[in-house]
Each structure stands twice: as structure tokens, then as C-alpha cells.
Amino acid sequence: MTEQTAREKVGEPTREQVADYLRAHPDFFVEQDELLRSLTLPHDSGRAISLVERQVHLFREQRDTLRRELVELVSIARHNDRLFEKSKRLLMQVIEARSLNDMAAAIDDSVRGDFGLDAASILLFSETELPDAAQGALHVVNPKEAHERLGNFLEGERAVCGQFRESDREFLFPDREEPIASVALVPLRNEELVGVFAIGSCEPGYFDQSMGSLFLSYISDTLSRLLPPMIGRHTSAAPVTDIASESR
């Protein structure tokens, strides 16, 4: 015979019934000071404590938990604020760029300087070479080759983060002496796919699938809108220096 069955036989309430009653009458102990003082509970230290002491202990634990969560939220907010300012500076430089190479240089400087990462890369998908040779973070690749090499990474619109295959990393970041270990990649899409924007770190675990990519998406959205008209200007007959002078 279990303890609960024995209690039911003598008409005593079960633990569940007592718990349900107390939940339904949270003010039960208001006029029961003597009862409160007589109730004891086991404590981690081994000694018995009163119900009031137990409540105080639980409130302190809850307070400490809330305090830790608040500190964490404040830290995240400060980090996001710094990230926003860096992203804002980068976007302003990208918008003010007068050529593709100026844009690529601004992105490269910001990603490695402001963000403290190891590499940035803009891969433009084009079957024809640009009149002005690509420099720094800017690379022109054949669309067919890009689809063969990057495959599923180009199908979505959101950032993909992780440790890509070595051949993929070499394709995204060519001519690097120190290899990139982890990558965040965003397709650049404006009605159609125009390229990809990738940032890389030499630290293997720096980028992973759980990492937030909101600010990276903001940057890629801006690039997706600015690149097509800029590419059109570069593939026209006018050289880059003439385009820059016309823009002044």
C-alpha cells in the first residue's frame, strides 16, 4: 500500500490536493504566523529552515537571476549599438563611393579595421571583364563557375555562416597567404543574382549557423541596389575617371 493510498483510506488529503488548495488560496498563511514559524524545510547546508526563510532564499535567487539577465541584455544592447555605428559608417562610405574599386576598398578597410575581421570579398558575376581591373576585395567571376562552385549557397537570400569547404573558401577569398577558416556569405540579389558578399575569419569557430546576421543583411541589401547601376557604368565605353568627373 502506497503512502497516498493510505492517506486516502483514512480521509487525509493527498499532497496534490494540499498543493491545489494552497495555489487556490495564496493568502492562507496571512493569519497563520505560528504555523509559518513551525513549518521547516530542508536546506542545502543540511539544516532545517522556516518557510519564510525559504521564501526569502527563493526571492534572492530570483533577484540574482534577473540581475544577471539584465546585465546580459545591457551588454547585448551596447554591442548592437557599436555594431550599428560601424555598419552606418560603412554604408555611408559605400554610398559615397564613385567606382567599384572605391566601394570595394571602403568595404575592405571597414571589415578589417572597424569590425576586426580578417577578410572581405565581393564576387561579381559577369561573363565580361570590367574595363577597370578589379582590385582588393573586388573579384569578377563567371556566373556558371560561381554556381558550380557555390551551389546551394546562392539559392537563398539570407546570410549563410559556417566553416565552408576549403575549395569554397579559396574561391571566395583568392590570393590570400593566410587561409580563411570560417565564413559568412550573403547573396547579392536585385531582381536577379549579381554576386555575393563574404566576410571571413582565420578563427575556425568565429562564424556559425547560430550567429545573428541582421547587420550583414543591411549591408548586403545596400550593395544589391548600388551594384547593378555601377556595373552598368563600368561596362559602358566611358572610363572610370570620366565617370568620376561627371559625378562631381
Q: Residue 184's domain is classified under what CATH number?
A: 3.30.450.40
Collapsing DSSP to helix, strand or coil, 49 comes out as strand
Residue 73 has which C-alpha cell?
541584455
Q: What is the DSSP string of 63-121?
A: HHHHHHHHHHHHHHHHHHHHHHHHHHHHHHHHHH-SSHHHHHHHHHHHHHHTS--SEEE
Select from 96, 119, 149 the last residue of a domain: 96
The rounded distance, in Å, linking the Cα atoms of 206 and 212 is 12
Q: How confident is the model at residue 51, as a pLDDT? A: 66
As a whole number of Å, the CA-based R_g of the chain is 31
User: How many domains, in total, are found in the chain?
Assistant: 2
| Per-residue model confidence as pLDDT tens for the chain (248 residues) | 455 555 555 568 888 888 888 888 877 777 776 776 677 666 665 565 566 676 787 888 899 999 999 999 999 889 888 888 888 888 888 888 888 888 888 888 888 888 888 988 888 888 776 655 556 688 888 888 888 888 878 877 778 888 788 888 888 888 788 888 888 888 888 778 888 898 989 988 888 765 666 778 888 888 888 887 777 776 654 444 443 344 33
Report yes or no: 172 and 125 within 8 Å, Cβ to Cβ.
no
**Boundaries of domain holding 34:** 16-96
**Residues 160, 74 within the same domain:** no
Q: Which residue has the cell 567606382?
A: 99
- Same domain, yes or no, for 55 and 126? no
Query: CA 146, 130, 110 angle in degrees (round to 5)?
Result: 75
Are both 162 and 60 inside the same structural domain? no
206 and 167 in a common domain: yes
Residue 42 is predicted with a pLDDT of 67
Q: Give the pLDDT confidence score for residue 18 in this predicted structure.
A: 83
- Do 114 and 223 reside in the same domain of the chain? yes
Largest CA distance in the chain: 100
Whether 78 and 149 map to the same domain: the answer is: no
Which pLDDT score, from 0 to 100, does residue 244 have?
39
pTM here?
Answer: 0.64
Answer yes or no: is 213 within a domain: yes
Residue 142 within a domain: yes
